[in-house]
Structures are given as structure tokens and as C-alpha cells.
Structure 1
Amino acid sequence: MSDPAGGLAPVSTRVMNLATFLTQAARRDPGGVALVMGTARWSWAEFEARTDALAHVLQTRYGLHKGDRVMCQSQNCLQMMQAMFAVWRAGGVWVPANFRQTPEEVAYLTAASGARLMFCNAGFPDHAAACDVETLVFGEAAFGPSVDALTEAAMGNRPQVAPVDRDDPCWFFFTSGTTGRPKASVLTHGQMAFVVTNHLADLMPGLTGDDASLVVAPLSHGAGVHQLTQVARGVKTVLLPGEKFDVAQVWDLVAEWRVSTMFTVPTIVKLLVEHPSTATADTSSLRYVIYAGAPMYRVDQQKALNVLGPVLVQYFGLGEVTGNITVLPAHLHQAEDGPTARIGTCGHARTGIEVQIQDDQGREVAPGQTGEICVIGPAVFAGYYQNSAANAKAFRDGWFRTGDLGHMDEQGFVYITGRESDMFISGGSNVYPREIEEKILTHPAVTEVAVLGMPDPLWGEVGWAVCVTSAPVTEAELAAFLEPKVSRYKLPKRFLIWEALPKSAYGKITKKMIRDEIIARGLVTPPDEARRA
């Protein structure tokens, strides 16, 4: 039989438009609850009809064409979910911003992405003004027409669902920008269909319309991907009724809606576990409490397992790989230390993904040796938008370079040592902060810690440990506690006690923000001033 593609190219690269997930869910259960926020309820049929109406408006009134980018500046709300699916249905590219960013930062994202249209919550007039593109408003505001009003006026109209190919962009997923300007990672329809399937297989197997998911993180990033997965299985999405994160309210919603899945970060899990209301909360419906974005320290992991039970699921992955690098499923989480406990691992490779630990030349290193975590597979993004220099740095021989350091054991379990940028060299020896942080956290008074390398005239760099404590403790006491647990060159030279560690808008502890705070407090000379001196 002859090969119709001639052995050179596939016959077709056409794939399903991601918005079809919503259509399929609405067909299966039109009257079922799809979205909940406070007293508001949307059925699947209403969610579908409202999305159709808005997509029709985008095409007919605003001339949205396939490939056009659409910015979104908003905290979580029902209309944000509607707009995301409407943009895809019309063929556009979803470009969500972190709603806590400044107007100037969002203006940069808008310009960098080439967005020609913007969805903006009514509470952000300054952001809309800074972006200088046509704006549609979630809520009521003078700076643009209301999405609700536009939707109501267009109800009953159907858009032309845009045909898409596997590599057509659907989402610009901006990096957090902790080491420079944020970059737009281009996610595609084909890639995201794989990610949804992979999330269902590896993170939340067996989801049905009887499940419910509570959103406790911004929909602009990982939580948005998680909710797309819920829509694919007709799972109810419950949004917090306000911007404030209230743990007692979280547990009330879990009980009311029999919530079974949550996407979180380690800091949110820590807040949930340690809050007084958790002691009397009904958590029996929870099946998967998924955490990502940063590794969870062992002591926090043990507390969570003891309080919530065997429901933790960890995955490791950057925005560029939409979370699809490794998974540590619930059955591999163990609260007790012992010979079978895999302490410190972020899990094994996700289904359909290959992970390698590579040296500086791109060669795979032996098990147990530290190197850069690199990955290939259908979840890897298409590259950074209009950034050939970043693409050249991020890919080597087809492998995506994460910039994270780690090692792999004989069974294929990956252990993250830290970001390549976090490692420092003291007296000629490599120091990986995470190892030290894990040991400091075993002190009963320490609740959070970050270790980072700071300039030193003798050793080049030395470690500083910035700690948050629940009880009084001195620098000398912390040094004495840690000294027998690490090699002398790894022992931090200073221990700082702060009331809190600065965190990103997604709840992550970032070394850049801590370093900036150290400089702001006058504890070290800023690098530029040191060079001038």
C-alpha cells in the first residue's frame, strides 16, 4: 500500500478546537451545574450559549480573526472562563496576565504579544488605559462595553468555530519573569489537547461529572489549565466568591459542593493544613489535592498527609511544558520516613514524556549525578513568541532545557536540587540551597526558609538563610542546630529572622525578590554600587 503522504509529511494536521470541550460537556449534561461563584450558577447549557454569543460578538463586531491575540487582565470570575472559551472558539489566542501586575507591566505584555483586544475587569481602569487597545469589561465601567451586556444582546447567535491545526497557537503563557522580562511561551491546540489528556491520566484519573473542583489560584496560569481539564470531563468549577483567601470559607465550599479536586501551590497547602478551621473541616470528599509551582518541603508534606490523608499529588513542570514533566501520584506519597519512602522526589516522568539529566554538553549523566533537567514530548511548547535568542538558549538537540538542576535515581525518579540560577559556589564548591533548606526546616521553630548565595570577599559567595519562625530563636542557635547536619562549606554564614518571606503573585518564594529585599533593607551593597566602589 502506498504512503499517501509520501513519507514526508502527515496527510492532515487538523485537530479539535479546544473550545469543543465545552460543547461536548454541554451536550452530555446541559442542565448540570458548570460554574459557581457566590450565589451565581451557570449550567453547562448556559455556559455554552454565553460562550457562543460572545464568540459571535468577537467575530462580527470586533473582527477577531484566527491568530489574533486577546489580552485578559482580571481576577478570577465566571466571565473570565467564558471569555477564554469564546476567544478559542473564534480562533483567537488567549493572553492572560497576572492580575496583580502593575499597569506598566501589563502594557508591556500587551505590546509584546501584539494583542489587539483586551478583556479587563472593571476594577482595573488604569491597566486598560495603559494598554491602549480596544477593551471589553467584566462588570460595569466607563472604559469599555460590558461583556454581560454584549452577551445578552447576542444570545442565540452562533459563531463560525475556527478550524485549527495541531501547531496553531491558543495561549500565550507568560513566564514569571523572575530573571528578566517575561517571555510569551506559545501553547498550541494540539499540545494542550495532549496536556488535558495527560492531566486526566496522571493527576486526576477517573474524574466524572459527579466531581467538583475548587479554584484557589489565579486562572491566568496553572489553575486555568487545570480548569480546562475539568471542563473536558464535565466537572463543576467552584470559584471563591471574593479575592480574599479565607481558609474557613474554602472548607465550607469543599463541604457544600463535595469538592474532590483542587490545584494549589505548596504555600496554599501549608495555609490550609495549619489553619485552626481545618481541625473540624469535612474533607472527606477530597480525592486529589494537586500541588505544583515549587517543591514542597518534607516537613510540610508530612503535615499535609497527616491532616488531609493520602490525597496529595505533586507534579513538576514549567509553564513552557504546562506542568508535564514529572508526577508523584497519591499512592507514592508517604507520611512516614522509611526504606520505601521516596523522600524529596518530584516523581517520575509523565506519560508520553521523556526526561533526561544532562551535563553542560547535553550528554546524559549517570544515575545519582547532578545535571540540568531536560525534557522532550508532546507537552513541550512551540517556543517563545518572536524571541529567537531565548529559543536558542532553551533548546538543545531538540531537548527543552528547564534550567532546573537535579538528579535521577536508578528507577527513574527525579530529585530537584534547585534552579541553576539558585546554585552558588563557595570556595570553589557548588552549593545547592534546597538541601540546606530541607535541614533548616526540621528545626521546630522554623516555618519557612530561603537560602541564597551572597557575595563574600574571601569565599566568593556564602550562604545566607532567611527564616520565618513561630517562636523566638537566635542566629547562633540556628547555626548550632544545623552545623552537625551539613558540611562546613554549606553552613550559612548568616541567619536572618523575618516576619514573612516575599512571594510572587502565585504564592511562590522567589530568590530574586528576597535578594531585592535584602538590598532594600541595607544589609548588603547593591551590585552596581559595589562595582562602582
Structure 2
Amino acid sequence: MNWFESRVQLTPKEIAIIDSETKESWTYEELHERVIKVASIFYTKGVRKGDRVAILAPNHISYFDFFFASMKIGAIFVPLNWRLAKAELYYCLNDCDPQLIGVNRKFKPNLDGVETNATYIAIDTNNYIDELYDQKASFDESLHEEDPLAMIYTGGTTGRPKGVVLSHKSILWNAFNTIVSWGLNKEDTTLTCLPMFHTGGLNVLSLPLLLIGGKVVLTAEFDANSVVADLLEYKCTIVLFVPTMYHMLIGTEAFKTATFPDMNVFVSGGAPCPYKVYEAFSKKGIAFKEGYGLTEAGPNNFYIDPNETMHRLGSVGKPMLFNDIKIMIGEGAIAPVDEVGELYVRGNHAFLYYWNRPEETNATLVDGWVRTGDLARQDADGYVYIVGRKKDMIITGGENVYPLEIEHWLEAHPAIDEAAVIGLPDEKWGEAVAAFVVTKMVLTAEELEDYCKQQLTRYKVPKRFFFVSELPKTAVGKVDKNTLKARYSNTDSTIS
């Protein structure tokens, strides 16, 4: 079954994709015509079922051309992270061994010196197909729902990037689950700013909306003022940003004066969202909620009514209709109400396996459940709260400390712009709680220590404060705590 072709039959003349930069738009029928041509290009260049087709480009219509063409002929779509260091990018290319790579000229230097047998095609404009297409090919591949459709590489902050293989079924069921649980319909429009090499850019809203017949507006770069203008111009009804984007957005005059009359809800994902972002939307009376997911599952797993968000601050809600969750402590024990444990997720939206990583696949997929590596708790009413990454938990003097609680309190300080908390090696405590803060005005470590003591148990109060101009970020805007640990683990100072 090719659901995209069924959608084209139902709403051929409706707008599917808009390029916010060029103002070009494509109906479902026009997008389908592009897909047929790109699939033919793939086929004539030797791409067959199971072959990998990679793309290295900013957000662009070609992502959908490549994805749906891969769906048609049974290839595996591999969007490459253009923010990776060259060594990591080369690793991904050698790992997936693509038959064909589509490259935007902006990122062509990223591939200088790489050795590959892949065929390169240039995707520099929206009309790149015209220079490549010769004639329509015929396809007779037998496709099944368990066949691989996409491979998305994880960020690589904990070692080499892993290729997460998603089947036709897993991508389709994530879209089903999102549409039904979040109440999406064909009148909805989103603005896709998150890079489409990331599951958030591809799978949170873009593909679900195309399945239901909605509209996707593409923008290649995130500029907070331009984003506000685009949201208003295209009458967007739902949008996903990561907390770093919201941090920039709420500080603009454009946001402060806009009313967003068409917007149903702003969604935050990718990392826990600071409470100051919740408050900014609450003050304007605009619906806001937080989601949770990972490349290996979904990435959509929970639903919360936006009317509940300020009453259950920080909650991602309850499991969506077509997936299950459990929170585990130790081996085989379900966590009691409000006790922290590791979050497990199960559903048809789960990934198939890690490419060329059988041992890591077996460690993550356990009896049909995806071990997320994230810590969570569930309250008596069934609402789930993400506490943080299991690997980020700090054990200081035998006590468990969850950085997110401290980060939220620090970021509530009016003089603090951003904060990150990690554990650093310490002879006495094993790990010392260390806080890194970006400030708007001068603060001292003593002032911050006193501030923390107002809210936090003594062992949670940071023993080291570092004042930094900015926090290192990953490719999708998450704070890169591994970089902080690498830079500061050997420091002896308690105050910096």
C-alpha cells in the first residue's frame, strides 16, 4: 500500500507544500508528478529495493521528492545531518553505503575528499528535476509494511551516530497515532523549521499532515522574526519548535505583539522546556504543550490537553491511543506512582533495528519494548513527567540528583538566560553538582548558591558554578552536556 498515492487521489488539487523563501507551492497532484520523475531518476541510476538514497540539503521540497520516491521503489531514505563534523559525516556515508546522494551546493564542500561509489545529483533549486529527468521508468517492486523505508542517524553525542531504521509501518503508525490523538485534520498547516534530517522535522508533523491532507510550509533556517511572519502569513495552526527556538522566539518584539489568531497550539519537543516559555505563552493566552519522543519510537508518544499544561507544569501528558508505556525500576519492576524510573515505549511506530548494530539493537529492543534511556515518573492521574536522561543523572554522596529540577529553578531566576547542570568528578562526593549559567546581568556564585538554597535540598545545590557566554548545542539545539563534561572535568575550581 502506498498511502501517499491514495492521498493524491483524494485531494489532488489541494496545496501540499509551500516554500516560504521562494513562495512556490505544490498541490498533491504536482508533488506526485515530481515523485514519479524522481523515482524514475533513481531507477535509471541503478537504485533498487533496499538500496540507500541519501540527501544532504537544507529543508527543501527535495526531501519529500526523495522520501516518497523511496517509498515507491522500496529504497531506504537517508537524510544526512549537515551539521556533523566531516569525520562523522564520512562515517555515516561509509556505514549506510548509499547508491545515490542528492547534494545541495551549499554543503558540497562537506563531502570533499570522501570516497564513495554513490552517484551524485545536484539539488540546488526547486527545478533540479528538469535537468535530470529523461523518461518514466516502470516499477514492479513487491513492498511490505515491514520493509525499511528510512534511516535517520542519531546525533552521535554518545559515540558514533547510529542509523535508526524505520519501516513503512512504523512511519505510517506514528502518523496515524498523531492524527487521531492530536486531532489533526486537512485544514491544519504547519511550518517546518526543525531540520528534516531530524525525526522531529520529518515525522512529528510533516508526514502526519500530508497523510491527512494538510499543508506543510518549509523554511530552511530558523530566524525568530521571520518565523513569526511566516506563522501569520500562512495561517499556521500547529507548529513544533525545540526549547532553544522558543527561547529566541519569545524574546522578539514580533512575538510580543502578535496574536496568532489561527494557531491552535504551539508544541515543544526535543528536550524538556524551561518554565519561562510556558509562562510567556500563558500570559498571551496562547495554547502551548510539551511532547516527548525519540527517533527509535515515534517520535510522538504522548498527548496533553493544552488547557492542562499550566496545571501540570512540565508534563508531556498521557500515552497516545496506539502506544503503551511503562516506567521501570531495576529489572522487571514497575515504578510506583511518582517514583522515578526508566521509560519504556511500545507500539507499531517503533523502529526495526540499528543499521549494522545488532548488539545495540538487542539492548534497546527488549521483548517488544523500546528502552528509551530517559527517566520519568507518572502521577496518580496517569500524567507522565520526563525527569531527564538516565546517563545524565548525578550520584553525589550516594544521593540521586536529576539535573532538570535544578535547571528549571536556575532558569526561573530573572538574571539567568540559560542553565545546564551536570556531574563533574569529585574525590569527596564521587560527583559534584555543577551548574553552567548564561546570565543577563552580573551575578556571583554566592548569590546563586543562596538562591538555590531557597528551593533545593542541600545535596542538590550546585557545588560549582560556571558563568559562560553560551552553552554548546547539538545539531538540533539541545544542550551538549558531553562537551561540557569534556571541557570542565579536569578543573579544580569550585567557582568560575
Q: TM-score, structure 2 length as denominator? A: 0.93
> How far apart are 1:482 and its partner, in Å?
0.7
Specify the alignment match of 1:223 in structure 2.
Answer: 201
Q: Distance in 1 between matches of 2:423 and 2:378?
A: 25
Q: Quick one: distance in 1 between partners of 2:325 and 2:213? A: 32
Task: List alignment gaps of at least 5 residues for structure 1.
Answer: 1-15, 335-340, 526-533
Label 1:131 to 1:508 Cα distance change in 2 as closer, same or farther (>3 A). farther
Instruction: Quickly say closer, same or farther: Cα 1:524–1:215, change in 2 above 3 A.
Output: farther
1:188: Cα distance to partner? 0.5
* Conservation of the 8 A alpha-carbon contact between 1:248 and 1:277: yes
Match of 1:184 in 2: 163
2:277 paired residue number? 300
Instruction: Report the alpha carbon displacement of residue 297 of structure 1 after superposing the two structures with TM.
Output: 2.1
Which of 56, 81, 93 aligns to 2:64? It is 81
Letter in 1 for 2:185: L
Note if contact 2:184-2:212 (Cα within 8 Å) is conserved in structure 1: no
Instruction: Write the mapping of 1:205-354 to structure 2, written as runs, cut at 5 A.
Output: 205-208=183-186, 210-221=187-198, 222-225=200-203, 226-240=205-219, 242-243=220-221, 245-307=222-284, 309-310=286-287, 312-334=288-310, 341-354=311-324
User: Given the alignment of the two structures, is residue 115 of structure 1 paired with residue 113 of structure 2, yes or no?
Assistant: no
Structure 2 match to 1:531 = none
Distance 1:308 1:71 in 2: 42
**Is the 8 Å Cα contact of residues 106 and 131 (structure 1) preserved in structure 2?**
no
Secondary structure of 2:256 counterpart: helix
Cα deviation digits, residues 77-130 of structure 1 (max 9, x gap): 112221221122121011111121133322211221232221111222233442
Q: Is the CA contact 1:136–1:147 (under 8 Å) kept in the aligned structure 2?
A: no
Shift of 1:186: 1.2
> Residues 344 and 281 (structure 1 numbering): CA distance in 2 closer, same or farther, change over 3 Å?
closer
**Shift of residue 518, structure 1, vs aligned partner:** 3.1
1:484 aligns with 2:469: no
Partner of 1:106: helix, strand, or coil?
helix
| Whole-Å separation in 1 of the counterparts to 2:110 and 2:488 | 30
* 1:200 is the counterpart of 2:200: no
- Maintained 8 Å contact 2:290/2:315: no
Contact (CA 8 Å) 2:423, 2:433: kept in 1 or not?
Answer: yes
Structure 2, unpaired ranges of 5+: none
Q: Distance in 2 between matches of 1:162 and 1:260?
A: 38
Which residue in the other structure is 2:430 paired with? 460
SS in 1 for 2:421: strand
1:172–1:186 CA contact under 8 A, matched in 2: yes
Structure 1 residues 411-464: Cα deviation after superposition (integer angstroms, max 9, x where no partner): 221122211110111111111111111222221111211110001111111111
Compute the displacement of 1:269 (Å).
Answer: 1.9
Deviation by residue 1:124-143 (Cα, 9 ceiling, x = unmatched): 22334425221111127xxx
User: How many angstroms apart in 1 are the aligned matches of 2:263 and 2:411?
Assistant: 27
CA drift at 1:524: 5.7
Q: Determine which structure has greater relative contact order: mean sequence separation of CA pairs < 8 Å that are 6+ residues apart, divided by chain length.
A: 2
Q: CA deviation at 1:43?
A: 2.5
Contact between 1:251 and 1:278, CA under 8 Å: does it hold in 2? yes
Contact 1:173 1:320 in 2 (8 A): no
Q: Once structures 1 and 2 are overlaid, which stretch shifts more, 431-440 or 297-306?
A: 297-306
Q: Secondary structure of the residue that 1:99 maps to in structure 2?
A: coil
Deviation at 1:146, TM superposition (A): 4.9
Structure-1 separation of matches of 2:243 and 2:6: 33
Deviation of 1:159 after TM superposition, in Å, equals 4.3
Could you say what secondary structure the match of 1:220 adopts?
A: coil
Post-superposition offset of 1:161 = 6.5
**SS of corresponding position for 1:25:** helix
1:465 offset after TM fit, Å? Answer: 0.4
Secondary structure at the aligned position of 2:353 is classed as coil
Contact 2:397–2:431 under 8 Å retained in 1: yes
Q: Within 1, Cα distance between the matches of 2:81 and 2:266?
A: 23
Instruction: Indicate how the Cα distance of structure 1 residues 137 and 450 shifts in structure 2: closer, same or farther if over 3 A, else same.
Output: same
C-alpha distance in structure 2 between counterparts of 1:477 and 1:417, whole Å? 26
What residue number does 1:505 align with? 475
How far has the Cα of 1:499 moved from its partner? 1.7
Aligned to 1:44: 28
Cα deviation for residue 496 of structure 1 reads: 1.3
Q: Secondary structure at the match of 2:435?
A: strand
8 Å CA contact 1:33–1:42 kept in 2: the answer is yes
- Once the two structures are TM-superposed, the CA of residue 267 in structure 1 deviates from its matched residue by 1.6
Maintained 8 Å contact 1:325/1:353: yes
The separation in 1 between residues aligned to 2:389 and 2:70, in whole angstroms, is 35
What CA distance in whole angstroms lies between the structure 2 residues aligned with 1:456 and 1:111? 40
Aligned amino acid, residue 278 of structure 1? F
Of the structure 1 ranges 509-518 and 107-116, higher mean CA displacement relative to structure 2 is found in 509-518
What whole-Å deviation, never above 9, does each CA across 1:138-184 have from its counterpart, x for those lacking one?
127xxxx9544114x44xx3642644212110011211121111111
Q: In the alignment, which residue of structure 2 is the partner of 1:364?
A: 334
Partner of 1:375: 345
Amino acid at match of 1:223: G
Take 1:524 and 1:138, find their aligned partners in 2: how far apart are those partners?
50
Query: Which of 438, 441, 444 is the matching residue for 2:414?
Result: 444
Structural mapping, 1:386-401, within 5 Å: 386-401=356-371
Q: Which residue in the other structure is 1:34 paired with?
A: 16
Residue 277 of structure 1 deviates from its aligned partner by 1.4
Describe the shift of the 1:161–1:481 C-alpha distance in structure 2 as closer, same or farther (beyond 3 A): farther
Partner of 1:337: none
Q: Please, which of 123, 128, 152 is the counterpart of residue 138 of structure 1?
A: 123
Deviates more, 1:456-465 or 1:343-352: 343-352
Q: Which amino acid aligns with 1:443?
A: H
Displacement after TM superposition at 1:372 (Å): 0.9
Aligned residues of 1:314 and 1:329 also touching (Cα < 8 A): no
Instruction: Give, in whole Å, the separation in 1 of the partners of 2:155 and 2:305.
Output: 26
1:137 and 1:131, CA in 2 relative to 1: closer, same or farther beyond 3 A?
A: farther
Q: Tell me if structure 2 keeps the 8 A contact 1:273–1:307.
A: no
Q: Out of 26, 40, 57, which is 1:56 matched to?
A: 40
What is the CA–CA distance in structure 1 between the aligned matches of 2:365 and 2:10, rounded to whole Å?
41
Partner in structure 2 of residue 69 of structure 1: 52
Residue identity matched to 1:33: I
Does structure 2 retain, via aligned residues, the 8 Å contact 1:447–1:470? yes
Shift of the 491–473 alpha-carbon distance from structure 1 to 2, 3 Å rule, reads same
Quick one: percent identity of the two aligned structures? Answer: 29
Question: Is contact 2:46–2:99 with CA below 8 Å preserved after alignment?
Answer: no
Q: TM-score, normalised by structure 1?
A: 0.87
Aligned-partner residue type, residue 35 of structure 1:
I
State the secondary structure of the residue aligned to 1:319. Answer: coil
Q: Rate the CA distance shift 1:199–1:400 in 2: closer, same or farther, 3 A.
A: same
